[in-house]
Structure 1
Amino acid sequence: MWDNCGWESQLLETGFLAIFLCPVWTLSQVPRRCPPSLICIWTFRWLIVRIMLGAGLIKIRGDKCWRDLTCMDYHYETQPVPNPMSYYMHRSPLWFHRFETLSNHFIELIVPFFTFLGRRMRIINGLVQILFQAALIVSGNLSFLNWLTIVPSLACFDDASLGFLFCSRGGAMKTVLEIQKEDKNGQTLKPTKGMRIRQVFNVSLGILIGCLSVPVLMNLLSPRQVMNTSFDPLRIVNTYGAFGSITKERTEVIFQGTLSEDPKDPKAVWEEYQFLCKPGDVYRRPCLISPYHYRLDWLMWFAAFQTYEQSEWIIHIAGRLLANDSTVLSLLDHNPYKDGGVPRWVRGEHFKYKFSQPGSARAAEGKWWLRKRIGAYFPPLDLEGLRGYFQSRNWPHPHIPTQKT
C-alpha cells in the first residue's frame, strides 16, 4: 500500500464506491432511466461517518493533550509539512488553541451522527465537514487527504439542496426522482431488465459493505482501537484515524556532504542538501503544496523521531547522494554539487526546529525557523565503506562516479 498511509486506503475505498455511481447501460453523464441508487449514496455517507469517528476516537484514546485540550499548542509547528499559514496559526492565543481542540472533538465525535437524524441535520453535517476540511487545507500540507475527504461529504446533500448550482434557463433543475418517474412524454417509466440487474448489484453492494463493516465497527468500539488498517485483503471497507499522538518538538534530519578527503578535518566544508518542502534552510519560507504529496519529505518527518537503524532507507539515500544519483536528486530542491564535483562523504545531522517569533529580530532577518543541533543522526559515510552494508541487504551498490576536473 505505497507508504501505508491512511489516505491511500481511503482513495481505494472511495474509488471502489464510485464505480457503482457510474451509469452502466449508457454513456450519458446523468442517465434518465438509471440514476444513482440511494444504497450507493449511503455507502458514501457511511464512509464519512467512519472517517470522522475513527479520527476522533483515536485522539480521545491516544495522546493526553487531546483530552486536556493542549494538542493544538504544538500541532502547527510539528505537523509533517507546515505551510506559511501554519507559521502564524502556531502563534495564536492559547484560548484559541483550546477552542480549536474542543471544536475538533465536536466535529469528529458528535457531528457525524447528524447523518442519521434526518435531511436537515445531514446537510448540516455535510457543510460542517467540508468547512472543516477547508480549514485543514489552509493550515497545513496534508497532501490530498482533506480534498479526498470532501468527496464522501458531498453525499450528505440531495438534489434539492444542490439544485441551485445546476439551474437551467428554463427554470429549476428536476430532481433525480422526478427524472426517474417521467420520460419525455410525462409517462411513468417501467423498470427495464437492465435497471433490475443494476438494482441487484446495488443491493449486493449494500450487503457487502454491511458485512465488511462489522470488524470495523468492533475496532471503533474497542479500547485498543487501531487506525488506518483494513480487515479485508481488498481494502474495500477500512478503519481510519489521524494524529492519535502529537509530537511536542520538531526534529529534522539534514543531509550534508563534503569534498574533503578527511571527514574529521576541522576545515572540512559541509554543504547541505535541501528537500522540496520539508524544513531545512531556516531562511526558506514554508511551502504550499496541497493537494500534492511529496512522499520523501513526509517520510523524512517520520525518520526524524526514529533512528537510522529503524529507517534503513535513510542510509540507502545517503549512498545515492554519494553517487550523485539523478533519480534521488530529482526528489530534492537543492544539490550543492550540481555545478561539478561529487561528495566524498555524506552525513546526517539531527536538529531541533522551532518557528521564529513574528516581529522578532530573527524574523526581521528573514528567518522562518530557529534550529539547534542535537547531534549526529548517522556518521560520515563514503561509498566504499557502504559496500558491505548494501550487500548485506541485497541493495545494488551505487556506481562511484568519475570526478570532474
Structure 2
Amino acid sequence: LLGGLIKIRGDRCWRDLTCMDFHYEVSAPCRVRAEHPASRSLTHFIELLVSYSVSPPSPQAILIVSGNLSFLNWLTMVPSLACFDDATLGFLFPSGPGSLKDRVLQMQREIRGARPKPRFGSVVRRAANVSLGILLAWLSVPVVLNLLSSRQVMNTHFNSLHIVNTYGAFGSITKERTEVILQGTASPNASAPDAVWEDYEFKCKPGDPSRRPCLISPYHYRLDWLMWFAAFQTYEHNDWILHLAGKLLASDAEALSLLAHNPFASRPPPRWVRGEHYRYKFSRPGGRHAAEGKWWVRKRIGAYFPPVSLEELRPYFRDRGWPLPQAL
C-alpha cells in the first residue's frame, strides 16, 4: 500500500502511466528487460488494491521476475505462508503411518476432542499478544493520519522505537540510465593516444553492451548496487570507488573476486585505472544494434574520475587511514 501511495503522490509519470516506459531500463543495478503496457496499470492494482489483503505470493512472484530486486520480494512472501492451513501445505510432507504428517494430524484430532484448561504460560502469552496489538494500534494512529494527509511524508518514523513506519519505494524515477565503467591500461603514459584501455566487468551490472541482463534474485550483489548509486553522483561523493581503483591497481584478490572479468588476469596489474561515465539504453528489438547481438546501446558522457596510478593514490589512502594496497 505504501509503495502505491508514494507513487500516485510522487512522480507525475506514475499518474499518467508512463513511468514503466523507463522503470525497467533505469532502476536497480541489473534490471531484466521487460516492457509491456499492462505493467503500467498492474503496478497500481497490486500495490493499492491487493495490498489491503494479506498479499499472496503470486504478485510477489511477478515482481521477482520483472523487478530483479534481490531478496526483498522473497522476504515479503514469507509472512504470506501463514495464510495457508496445514491441509493446503500437507503435500510438502511425506504421508503414511508414523510420518511427521501423520503424527501432526493425530495431535490435531486429539486437541479437537478435548478442551484442556488454559495453562499459566498460555494466559501470559495471550495477554502479551493483546498488549502488543494495542501498542501497535496506538503507535499506528499518527501513521494512518499521515497516509490520509495531502502532505504525506514517506520513508520516515513517528516514534523513538522506530516501528510502524512509512516506507515506499520508487516515488520518483530517473528517465535515463548512467553507468560507471572502470578501465585499466598497461601503457606507461595514460594520456598517450595509443593507450589501450580495457574494461573490468562486474557480476551483473551493465557493462559490455553484448552481455544479456542477468537475473540476480534472490542474491544481492552489493558492489554492483553501490556502483549504480555512484553513477548518480561524482566520485568526490563516493571516495570508496578510488579505494576500489587502488585495489585493482594492486590486483587485490579479494576485490577481484567481486568482479566477473579481470582483463589483466594473466598479466601484470594495470599501471593506470580510470572511471568512464556512460549513458545506457536498451537496444530496440529488430534494430541494428539488436541484430549485432547487443542488448544495450551506450554513449560516453565523459570522464567519471581521471586516470590514477597506485603511486598517486598512496597519499589519498594514507590521509583516510586506509591500508595501502601492495602490488603483486
TM-score range normalised by the length of the shorter chain: 0.7 to 0.9
Native 8 Å contact 1:252 1:279 kept in 2: yes
Change (3 A) 1:216 1:179: farther
Distance 2:148 2:46 in 1: 18
Deviation for aligned residue 1:219: 4.3
Native 8 Å contact 1:230 1:238 kept in 2: yes
Cα deviation digits, residues 309-337 of structure 1 (max 9, x gap): 22222122112111212221111111111
Which residue among 135, 141, 144 is the counterpart of 2:62? 135
1:378 is paired with a residue whose SS is strand
Q: Which is further off, 205-214 or 372-381?
A: 205-214
Distance 2:176 2:196 in 1: 29
Distance 1:400 1:158 in 2: 56
Unaligned runs of at least 5 residues, structure 2:
none
Identical aligned pairs, as a percentage? 60
Unaligned runs of at least 5 residues, structure 1:
1-52, 116-124
1:126 is paired with a residue whose SS is coil
The answer to whether 1:310 aligns with 2:237 is: yes
The answer to whether 1:103 aligns with 2:47 is: no
Q: Which residue of 2 aligns with 1:187?
A: 114
The answer to whether 1:369 aligns with 2:308 is: no
The TM-score, its normalising length taken from structure 2, stands at: 0.87
Q: Which residue of 2 aligns with 1:149?
A: 76
Deviation for aligned residue 1:153: 3.3
Q: Which residue of 2 aligns with 1:126?
A: 55
The TM-score, its normalising length taken from structure 1, stands at: 0.72
Equivalent positions of 1:223-302 (< 5 A) are: 223-227=151-155, 229-231=156-158, 235-302=162-229
Distance 1:285 1:158 in 2: 37
The answer to whether 1:69 aligns with 2:17 is: yes
Deviation for aligned residue 1:179: 7.3
The answer to whether 1:163 aligns with 2:87 is: yes
Native 8 Å contact 1:383 1:400 kept in 2: no
Native 8 Å contact 2:246 2:325 kept in 1: no
Change (3 A) 1:80 1:134: same
Cα deviation digits, residues 199-242 of structure 1 (max 9, x gap): 12212322343344344435434524222x44556654333211
Distance 1:158 1:272 in 2: 49
Deviation for aligned residue 1:184: 5.6
Native 8 Å contact 1:81 1:140 kept in 2: no
Q: Which residue of 2 aligns with 1:29?
A: none
Cα deviation digits, residues 256-278 of structure 1 (max 9, x gap): 01111111011111111100000
Change (3 A) 1:224 1:345: farther
What is the alpha-carbon root mean square deviation over aligned residues?
A: 2.7
Native 8 Å contact 2:182 2:273 kept in 1: yes
Change (3 A) 1:252 1:58: same
Amino acid at match of 1:74: F
The answer to whether 1:387 aligns with 2:314 is: yes
| Aligned length in residues | 319
